Amino acid sequence: MVATTPSEATTDYGRLAAQIAGWLRAQLEASGARGFVLGLSGGIDSAVVCALCARATSPAQVLGAFMPSHSNPEDEACADEVAAAFDIKLVRVNLTPVTDEFEAAMPADELIAQASGQASIEAQARLLADANVKPRMRMATLYYLANLTNSIVVGTGNKTEAAIGYFTKYGDGGVDLLPIVDLYKFEVRALARELGVPTSVIERAPSAGLWPGQTDEHEIGLTYDQLDAALMAIASGSESGVAPAVIERVKRMNARTAHKRGTIPAFIRPF
């Protein structure tokens, strides 16, 4: 069997949208919560989840939060456009000063290096640590809003990113529900068109907004189409249609980030 490529995949996306919305509705009813809270980044994943939440219940029961932290101004314009398209309320929580204060409160790199027995802190390690502060601040913000409004925090992660660990542990990975985590990126794009997500959002280069000019594909080093094709080939057991170097790279990313997808290891006392 030859691995199915994104362009060859066939799905009834109208039916899929109805299934996910129904699942979200059932989860909400079972929880006893009033509604849904989610972060609106201005990207396609959060736009799709917003549309699904609005379908699952009344748009009045969906609260979006735009949480800039040294963010691209275009992100907010797109988040506003998505909120208007699906008639949900959007609040703005400026996390830039909070993020800056958090990072300023950390010991100097040379002190951290000395305490940990290292010669120095690598620039890449500092970049990653700083980048991860943003999604963790956003997670805390969403749960604060959820507590105030008796709501469920809905995540926006997709299958492609989950498989390679492209999310922040206890950041954007810290949610109550994951409605699109079984959808590859190409399926998210197709579902976005089905749901009426604004074209400007669908066509934007995917970015987590971790630093100026950051894009997901540049950071990962592969396009989403390459990732989807490799992941589908691995899942099917037929990898011949994808470059071996891509397959091996995706497998390494998957193995290296297994800790993000599993439960927390816990010591159980022997008796």
Mean pLDDT, residues 157-167: 96
Residue 224, pLDDT score: 94
Q: List alpha helices for the chain, DSSP H.
A: 13-31, 44-56, 73-85, 96-105, 109-116, 123-149, 159-164, 185-195, 199-202, 216-220, 224-236, 244-256, 258-261
What is the pLDDT, as a whole number, of residue 228? 96
Q: Tell me: domain 6-261, CATH 3.40.50.620, correct?
A: yes
Contact 142, 41 (CB under 8 A): no
CA angle 201, 203, 208 (to 5 degrees): 65
Q: Does the structure show a pLDDT above 50 at 157?
A: yes
- Please say if the pLDDT value at position 198 is more than 80: yes
119 pLDDT exceeds 60?
yes
What pLDDT does residue 211 have?
Answer: 60
> pLDDT tens across 251-268, in order?
999 999 999 999 999 999
What average pLDDT does the chain have? 93
* Mean pLDDT, range 159-172, rounded to an integer: 96
What is the C-alpha separation between 17 and 121, in angstroms, rounded?
A: 46
Q: Edge to edge, what strands does the sheet with 62-66 contain?
A: 89-92, 62-66, 35-39, 151-153
pLDDT for residue 34:
98
pLDDT of residue 208: 67
Whole-number pLDDT of residue 215: 78
In this predicted structure, what is the pLDDT of residue 9?
58
Domain ranges (residues) in the chain:
6-261
pLDDT digits (tens, 9 = 90+) for 91-113: 999 999 999 999 999 999 999 99
